Homo-oligomer: A and B are copies of this chain.
Amino acid sequence: MLSFESDYIIGAHEKVLEALCKTNNEILSGYGNDAHTQNAKKLIKKACNSPESEVFFLTGGTQANAVVISTMLKSFEGVISAKTGHIALHEVGAIEYTGHKVIELDPDIGKLKAKTVRNYLEAFYGDENNAMMVVPKMIYISHPTEYGTLYSKEELTALRDICDEYGMKLFLDGARLGYGLMSRETDLTLPDIAQLCHVFYIGGTKIGALCGEAVVFAKGEMPERFLSQTKQHGAMLAKGRLTGVQFEALFTDDLYFEISKNAIDRAEELKNLFASRGYEFFLDSPTNQQFIILTNEQMAKISEKCRFGFWERLDENRCVVRFATSFATTKADVEALSQII
């Protein structure tokens, strides 16, 4: 059945799979001490224009969030997130499980605004009781956000400025980073992000890999004995080649950007299609996730021939649903959808 359910419904991009097959019989050391993993790190640092950063591979987004946050914060420090942020809402409290408070602030269509953060920090540092409070030490954002929206360079810079002013770290969850970078409406490049964030990750699971997120620490930001700490979190693969080989393929010949662009091109077509048919959008997303308002009748009818994600009920008659394109979506898929809606 046709499906726009999510961006992780297909296995790996064919070139990624080819790389796994081609290297399969090579004898390689474990735990990331292999040539492909080393090369993948080199390629990523180059793409980030950040030779002094440090790159590590983890298997998924929640794992990356929990490992990064818990290894960068002390026990009395917390992380600021939009109330709708992935760590705040959809990770079964994985951050709290490591002992840290997620300080939830009100977002603007998924985004954390500098003004909101600044207000919180001014109140915190102006409060004589703050010895009784968790110290806000990190800002967590996702880019694109859970609603497909994007930070502008100015907005990201404003968050970084706050971090510098208050001694905080800026952490960008890039589970869908490629789709943000190739959006037609972004002014942020990968080197910009590498320069503005203390730590971020480049999502592979949703963009061409079977699994894997590449965590990038800016110079000097990598936690002590980080590899040991990933082991302690159960996050280290014995066959580190699995993520190394995949990211090596993704960052060879700009594959990551090319296949991310495919998702954006298909999303634009899908957006135009829904618009041309008079459907209402829940919000304006410049990336691969499109949030559409459907009546109950439309939902029932489309569901018969096409899968999509349920988001929330708006009222008795209408729901918000999500159509996601990905590295693997084809023009034919969008055309098939045009026959259905």
Q: How far is the CB of A177 from chain B (nearest CB, A)?
A: 15
Contact B24 A5 (CB under 8 A): no
Task: Select one of B8, B70, B75 contacting A30, CB under 8 A.
Answer: B8
* Segment of A85-93, A258-266, A275-283 engaged in the interface with chain B: A85-93
| A132 within 8 A of partner (CB) | yes
Within 8 Å by CB of A75, from B24, B63, B97, lies: B97
> Interface 1/0s, chain A 53-78, versus B by CB < 8 A?
00000011111111100110011101
Q: With A96-B99, A97-B75 in contact, do A133 and B242 touch (Cβ < 8 Å)?
A: no
Docked CA distance A70–B98 (Å): 13
The chain B residue with its CB closest to the CB of A83 is B104
CB of A234 within 8 A of chain B?
yes
The distance from the CB of A221 to the nearest CB of chain B, in whole angstroms, is 16
Which of chain B's residues have a CB closer than 8 A to the CB of A75?
A: 70-71, 97, 229, 232
Contacts of A239 in B (CB 8 A): 8, 11, 205, 210-211
Q: How far is the CA of A63 from the CA of B58 in the complex (A)?
A: 13
* Docked CA distance A210–B64 (Å): 20
Distance from A79 Cβ to chain B, minimum over Cβ atoms (Å): 11
> A237 to chain B: which residues have CB within 8 Å?
59-60, 205, 211
Count, chain A residues at interface, CB 8 A:
83
The segment from A123-131, A158-166, A189-197, A286-294 found at the interface with B is A123-131
The DSSP consensus for interface residues of chain A is loop
Contact of A234 among B23, B60, B89, B211 (CB under 8 A): B60
- Say whether A20 faces chain B, with CB atoms less than 8 Å apart: yes
A229 contacts across to B, CB distance below 8 A:
75-76, 92
Collect the chain B residues with CB atoms within 8 Å of residue A1's CB.
27
- B contact residues around A25 at 8 Å (CB): 10-11, 328
Verify if A150 is at the interface (C-beta below 8 Å from B): no
Q: Is A313 an interface residue (CB 8 A)?
A: yes
On whether A211 and B242 interact (CB within 8 A), knowing A3-B27, A75-B229, A237-B60, the answer reads: yes
Residues of B near A134 (CB, < 8 A) are 92-93, 96
Contact partner of A132 (CB less than 8 A), chosen from B3, B90, B135, is B90
A21 cross-chain contacts in B, Cβ below 8 A: 17, 21
Interface residues, chain A, with chain B CB atoms under 8 Å away: 1, 3, 5-6, 8-12, 14, 17, 20-21, 23-30, 59-67, 70-71, 74-76, 78, 89-94, 96-102, 104, 126-129, 131-135, 205-206, 210-211, 224-225, 227-229, 231-239, 241-242, 310, 312-313, 328
Q: Given A99-B99, A131-B225, output 13 extra A-B contacts at Cβ < 8 Å.
A: A8-B239, A10-B24, A11-B23, A67-B234, A75-B232, A76-B228, A78-B96, A89-B133, A93-B99, A93-B101, A101-B102, A131-B228, A234-B235
